Amino acid sequence: MEGRIREFIDYMRVERGASPNTIRAYERDLMAFKGFCEERGGDPFKDPYLVRAFVGGLYRKHKKTTIARKLSSIKSFLRFLHRRGVIDRDIATLLTGPRVPRSLPRSLTVDEVFALLDAPGGKDPLRLRDRAILELLYSSGLRVGELVSLDVEDVDLEGKVVRVFGKGGKERIVPIGDKAVEAIRRYLPSRVLLLKGDERALFLNRYGKRLTARSVERLIKAYSRTSGLFKDVTPHVLRHSFATHLLGGGADLRSIQEMLGHSNLSTTQRYTHVSMERIMEVYDRAHPRSRGEDDV
């Protein structure tokens, strides 16, 4: 079975262009499934009830969101095997997962974002780098993996755009604002000081190597505390804030979809619900006839 898992992982990496994080999640889930089947001494390709038993056991250990993700990994694997003729029936159709309520994206207010962007003060090379990172994330809505993958030549400061390779290796061009351009310009001389060898990455760590996504997550959490934002601020929260603020400013969904690199418009449409919540909050707070007399 391990050989089949390797075939599937190679397929996801090479043909589907899945991200490293996705690949690691698939591999972890499928190896756990393999271990379960070996303990039971059964062949999941011939015994669909063995697959169901594995899924059933997940309910005792994991949250619904985790179960749904693990189940998605297994179903994708089984469908791959069915298409390759390894199994003669699509066992994935027999599997049903938990209904997971679709949560609305969390975002910051404009004032909260500004407080976060101002947190890395000073002219220390790492502080200048961090300010450029925060400004670019909010200005472009990039995923953190896309941000750390940027090379210097991917950023056109004159044209105010960045070239991004998103999920599945899809290339897109994303505009960036003057504040982000200015922050990157201030950082670039410091990048030369940090640079070791011929590293092409735009954002470097203190050792002159490409910064990792985990490092960006840590620095954002640190600056969120410094700026007094007692919230769980992540790179994805900045991405959601970018989209929500654009929509609130009158941008159309298709343009936001293109900038975010969403394959489906339905993914982008979640932000309309966020904006409607904000509208209702403002209405309830400001309109003199929004509430009954008992509530006043």
Report the Cα 148 to chain-centroid distance in Å: 13
57 pLDDT band (50/70/90 cuts)? confident
pLDDT at position 292 over 60:
no
Pairwise pLDDT comparison (255 vs 270), residue with the higher score: 255
Nearest by Cα to 117 from 102, 132, 103, 97: 132
Give pLDDT, residue 296. Answer: 43
Q: Which of 70, 75, 129, 143 is catalytic?
A: 143
Report the Cα 59 to chain-centroid distance in Å: 26
Annotated catalytic residue 167: yes
- Using alpha carbons, list the distances in angstroms from residue 224 to 77, 129, 136, 221, 228: 39, 16, 16, 5, 6
Report the Cα 142 to chain-centroid distance in Å: 9
Burial of 166 (0-12, 13-18, 19+ CB in 10 A): buried
Give the pLDDT mean for 103-107: 66
pLDDT at position 283 over 60:
no
Annotated catalytic residue 84: no
Annotated catalytic residue 102: no
Pinpoint the alpha helices (H) of 234-269: 235-248, 253-260, 265-268
| pLDDT per residue as tens digits for the range 26-45 | 888 889 888 888 888 777 67
Domains of the chain: 2-94 (1.10.150.130), 110-283 (1.10.443.10)
Q: Which of 70, 131, 191, 262 is catalytic?
A: 262
Q: CA–CA separation, 34 vs 8, rounded Å?
A: 13
Annotated catalytic residue 214: no
Length of the chain: 296
Q: Which of 13, 167, 221, 270 is catalytic?
A: 167
pLDDT at position 259 over 90:
no
Q: Which of 172, 236, 270, 278 is catalytic?
A: 236
Backbone angles phi, psi at 171, to 5 degrees: -90, 140
Annotated catalytic residue 239: yes
